[in-house]
Amino acid sequence: MKKIFFFLIISLPVFSQEYKKPPEVISSMIEAEPQPTLNFNNNGDLALMLRRDGYKSIEDLAIEELRIGGTRIDPVRYTSSRMTYYNSFSLLDINTGENIQMNHPENGKFSFFSWSPDESKVAYTNTTEDGVELWITDIKTKQSRKVSDKYLNDILVSPFQWYNSGSELLISLRCNSDMPSIKTVPSGPIIQQTNNQIAPSRTYQDLIKNSNDEILFEYLSCIELHKVSLNGKKSEFIEKGMVKDYDLSPDQDYLLIKKIKRPFSYLVPYYRFPYIVKTIDLNNKQEKTIADISVDEVRPIGFDATREGIRSVSWRNDKESELYWVEANDNGDPKVESDGRDIVYTLKSPFSDKKDELLRTNLRYSNISWGSGNYAILTERLWKNRNEVTSLVNVKDRSIEKVLFDRQYDDIYSDPGDPVFKKNEYNRNIVDFRKNSIVMIGQGGSPEGYRPFLSVLDLKSVSSTILFRSQAPYYERPIKLSSDNENILITSKESKSENPNYFLRDLQKNTNSQITFFENPYKKLEQLKKEVINYKRKDGIDLSAIVYTLDTYNPENEGRLPVLIWAYPREYTSKKVASQVRNSPYRFTRINYGSPIFWALRGYAVMASTEMPIVGFDGDQPNNSFREQLVMNAEAAIDKIVDMGIGDRDRVGVGGHSYGAFMTANLLAHSDLFAAGIARSGAYNRTFTPFGFQREERTYWEAPDLYNYMSPFMHADKVNEPVLLIHGEEDNNSGTFPVQSIRFFNAIKGHGGTSKLVMLPRESHGYRAKESILHMLYEMDSWLEKYVKNKPLKPDEGIFKNNK
What are the distances in angstroms from CA 251 to CA 115, 287, 289, 348, 541?
Answer: 18, 17, 20, 13, 54
Distance CA 377, CA 534 (A): 37
Give the 3-state secondary structure of residue 580: coil
Give the 3-state secondary structure percentages of the chain, helix then strand then coil, rounded to 5. Answer: 15, 35, 50
> What span, in angstroms and rounded, lies between the C-alpha atoms of 123 and 154?
15
Question: What is the chain's alpha carbon radius of gyration, rounded to the nearest angstrom?
Answer: 28
CA-based nearest residue to 31, from 796, 769, 790, 550 = 769
- Active-site residue flag, 658: yes
What's the burial of 795, exposed, middle or buried (CB within 10 Å: 0-12/13-18/19+)?
Answer: exposed
Instruction: Say if CB 164 and CB 252 are below 8 A apart.
Output: yes
Under a CB-based contact definition with an 8 Å cutoff, are residues 190 and 201 in contact? no
Burial class (CB in 10 A: 0-12, 13-18, 19+), 675: buried
The active-site residue out of 144, 765, 772, 781 is 765
* Spatial CA neighbour of 391 closest among 413, 414, 410, 363: 363
Among 323, 369, 328, 373, smallest CA distance to 348 is for: 323
- In degrees and rounded to multiples of 5, residue 716 shows phi and psi of -60, -25
Phi, psi of 472 (to 5 degrees): -60, 145
Q: Are 500 and 492 in contact (CB under 8 A)?
A: yes
Q: Cα–Cα distance between 362 and 379 in angstroms, integer?
A: 11
Check: CB of residue 374 under 8 Å from CB of residue 394. Answer: yes
DSSP β-bridge partners for residue 571 = 614
470, 658, 764, 772: the active-site residue: 658
Closest by CA position to 114, among listed 74, 162, 69, 79:
162
The active-site residue out of 74, 731, 772, 781 is 731
Nearest of 615, 619, 618 to residue 629 by alpha carbon: 615
Q: Which residues contact 242 (CB under 8 A, 6 or more apart)?
A: 156, 218, 221, 222, 223, 259, 260, 261
C-alpha angle 727-599-597 in degrees, rounded to nearest 5:
80
Burial class (CB in 10 A: 0-12, 13-18, 19+), 484: exposed
Contacts 24+ apart (CB under 8 A), 701-708: 706/623, 706/624
Task: Please state the three-class secondary structure of 621-667 as a single string.
Answer: CHHHHHHHHHHHHHHHHHHHHHHCCCEEEEEEEEEEECHHHHHHHHH
Nearest residue to 733 via CA among 706, 775, 707, 763: 763
Please state, in angstroms and as integers, the Cα–Cα distance from residue 651 to each residue in 569, 639, 642, following that order: 22, 13, 11
Verify whether residue 765 is a known catalytic residue: yes
Residue type, 171: I
d(CA 93, CA 96): 6
DSSP helix/strand/coil, 577: helix
Strand ranges, E, within 385-487: 387-394, 399-408, 418-419, 421-423, 429-431, 437-442, 453-458, 463-469, 474-481
DSSP E strand boundaries for 568-643 = 570-572, 605-610, 613-615
Q: Give me the phi and psi of 670, to 5 degrees please.
A: -120, 15
Q: Is residue 798 within 8 Å of 766, Cβ to Cβ?
A: no
325 C-beta neighbours (distance < 10 Å), count: 21
| Edge-to-edge strand ranges of the sheet holding 71-74 | 66-68, 71-74, 79-80
Instruction: Please list the active-site residues.
Output: 658, 731, 765
